[in-house]
Amino acid sequence: MSDARRIVLLRHGRTAWNAEHRIQGQLDVELDDVGVGQARSVAPLIAAMEPALVWSSDLARARMTADEVAKEAGLVPSYDARLREFRLGEYQGQSHAELLAQDEAAFERFRRGDWEEIPGAESPAEVSARFTSAIRDLAAALGPGETGVAVSHGAATRTGLVAFLGWPLAFARDLRALGNCGRVVLEQRTTGDWALAAYNL
């Protein structure tokens, strides 16, 4: 068995708001039936990697996904607010159509991922700081050859991923959006550095 440690970053399953193109941010929305099915489908794939730990955002959609993964792997998940999605301030709860009708320019900035001007929103620097703090703690909790899973959210994962790898935060916009229950695999090199092994599986 290799001594290389692995981290799997998993986006939560679908919610009704995902299907409606409604902005969730940190509002607590549960998985819909499709999302539960996605979580149950991906759980055996991750369990086959024999994870030692399953950590999750404390928001319901992530917790429900993590619960399925942990159950399949014979583990008990831990919940960590540092893995939450971006807080998106005044945009939370609005549909894309509503935001477009209200302010076309603001909608285009939102679609580009330019979220700095959203009233009450977190900045990418704030999200990346908390997310990478959690992932470093997860990595530190893994023994040689062990795999850890972090269940989180699409935008927070992309932003946290590039920060964790030491890339400029702007690179997060160059990564395509993670699908529901899409996963990222990181592997640790012998140097101790981490490498991106797979994206949006």
Give the catalytic positions in this structure: 12, 85
Over residues 112-168, the pLDDT tens digits come to 888 988 999 999 999 999 999 999 999 999 999 999 999 999 999 999 999 999 999
Residue stretches of the chain with pLDDT short of 70 = 1
Can you give the pTM of this predicted structure? 0.96
List CB contacts of 94: < 8 A, sequence separation 6 or more. Answer: 22, 23, 102
Separation CA 156–CA 161 (nearest Å) = 8
Q: What is the layout of strands, in order, in the sheet containing 6-11? A: 78-79, 53-56, 147-152, 6-11, 183-188, 194-198
Looking at residue 3, what is its pLDDT? 86
The pLDDT, as a whole number, for residue 44 is: 98
pLDDT of residue 145: 96
Helix/strand/coil for 111:
helix
| pLDDT given for residue 2 in this prediction | 74
